[in-house]
Amino acid sequence: MPYDPNNVFAKILRGEIPCTKIYEDDFTLAFPDIAPQAPTHLLVIPKGSYIDYADFAAHATDAEILGFSRALGKIVEQAGITQAGYRLIANSGEHGGQEVPHFHVHLVGGHALGRMLAKE
């Protein structure tokens, strides 16, 4: 399936939909999730057009991958939750529950998050 340039994060990157920028550099943008599920809930996205992690890992340049990974670390530090703990989540596809088909990492924390996956 090709990348959909009309997904909401592509629109944010083009400035067609507003966001509150928490962090930005050449490769990465971070902003608060519009429907936060924890006291801290940020979305961290690469600026390149990648659908999910596998697409990003296979097709992004080394500079993009390194830049994104370092930026993610800085954003976690900046959020001030490294001591207390946090969780990074990258949903993919139907089974992963991905709603927006532009690769993104959720940074959640600010209170105890419980089990990694809900019990069926």
Cite the active site residues: 104
Q: Which is nearer to ligand AMP, 41 or 59 (CB)?
A: 41
What six digits make up the tokens of 105? 């990492």
62/94 with CB nearer ligand AMP? 94
Residue with tokens 């519009």: 34
**Dist CA 32 CA 107 (whole Å):** 9
**Residue 70 CB, nearest distance to ligand AMP (Å)?**
22
Q: How far apart are CA 60 and CA 46, in angstroms?
A: 9
Identity of the residue, 5 or 63, whose beta carbon is nearer to ligand AMP in the bound complex: 5
Hey, what amino acid is at 72? L
List interacting residues with ligand AMP (CB under 6 A). 8, 17, 19, 33-35, 43, 91, 97-100
